[in-house]
Copies of this chain bind each other. A is one copy, B any other.
Amino acid sequence: MADNKKVTIRELAKRAGVSEATVSRALNDSPRVKPATKHKIQQLAKTLGYRPNLLARSMRTNQSKTIGVIISNIANPFFTAVVRAIEDEAATLNYRTIVINTDENPGTERQAIEMLQGYMVSRFIIASTRRGVDYHLLLGRTPAIFIDRLPNNNGDYDTLLVNNADGAKQVVNALIAQGATRIGVISSSVSTAGQERLAGYRMALQENRIAVDENIIKCSDVQMRRVRRYTSNLLINQACDGLFTADNEIFLAAMAEITARNLTGLKLGTFDNAPWFDFLALPVTAVQQPTVEMGTRAVQRLVARINGSDKLDEPELIRLSVKLVKRN
């Protein structure tokens, strides 16, 4: 029965008539304790409802089997998908995860990392906010792996990105194949991913010997209102018959404008596939990001780094490939 007072190792030791050390060993399933004793103690712990004080344990061992996951926008389906994969893989490898959302705010990001370090969390998976955070200062040699975005101090940490340029190139190529002749683009200046996707757009045009017109390239902060303005500018003033948006947030804003103005006959392409694209009147060709692979590999690599199981002296930059979902 659960007594009111909290059960500690000392308490168990007293009741079992053994030392605290033996209890600790029994609870940690050490081979250095007699099976009978071990069993007895474990039983007792269960009956008394013993809960280890993880604080004390971490403090003593100077580590907590916990991975800090720092993401920049919890409302973005891309990130939640990655987070779920991270959680799954971490659980498999017997790690805990703590997720903190920074809302693209570098200050919050710094605080979050410092806070977790205060809790002895010493492995991180980070989707960096804007450039401007000095991870050297913050992390030192703490194992960390960056996802989705190239961090400020790249080259010093493992980084896991998708092949943004290639994905963008594929989408734009598909739009061209569908007959689009003048394709506008709206990208994000917030992350490195946005710039790479823009580069991919240019590559596709060049491959198809289409002149790049800087007037139909828009790249800035993702702000609903601004994206809507860009959209009408591109599709009406600039007479584009195709539009490539660099992520799901931009796509949403652009679609709002397209719907409001009742524009039709367009070829749309975007990063971040979503199930509801199937329901739209306009066909959307979309890049499906490998969220599960990204989350899974991030955890695996982090854990490998810790155990030093494979010799990974040099931090690596890994590119995952993307999949194209065509609709027309």
Contacts and interface: CB of A to CB of B under 8 A. Distances in A.
B118 A51 contact: yes
Interface string A140-181: 100000000000000000000000000000000000000000
Contacts of A77: 75, 77
B120 A51 contact: no
A152 to B, nearest CB: 16
Interface residues of A, number: 43
Interface in A64-98: 74-75, 77, 80-81, 83-84, 87, 96-98
Q: How many copies does the complex hold?
A: 2
A262 to B, nearest CB: 11
Contacts of A256: 275, 278-279
Contacts of A140: 2, 4
Contacts of A296: none
Interface stretch (A32-40, A52-60, A199-207): A52-60
Interface of A: 2, 4, 51-56, 58-59, 74-75, 77, 80-81, 83-84, 87, 96-101, 103, 114-115, 117-120, 137, 140, 252, 255-256, 259, 275-276, 278-281
A252 B281 CA distance: 16
Contacts of A276: 252, 255, 276
Say what secondary structure dominates the interface of chain A: helix
B96 A99 contact: no
Nearest to A108: B91
Contacts of A98: 98-100
A53 B279 CA distance: 52
Contacts of A259: 278-279
Contacts of A59: 53, 55-56, 59
A185 B58 CA distance: 51
B80 A84 contact: no
Given A87-B103, A279-B280, 5 more contacts: A59-B59, A75-B84, A84-B101, A96-B115, A98-B98
9 contacts: A55-B119, A74-B84, A74-B99, A77-B77, A80-B80, A87-B101, A119-B119, A276-B276, A281-B281
Contacts of A96: 115
What are the nearest 5 A-B pairs in CB distance? A54-B118, A55-B59, A75-B80, A55-B55, A99-B99
A54 B281 contact: no
Contacts of A58: 55
Residue of A74, A103, A140, A252 with most partner-chain B CB within 10 A: A74
A52 B279 contact: no
Contact of A120 (B55, B80, B83, B137): B55
A87 B59 CA distance: 27
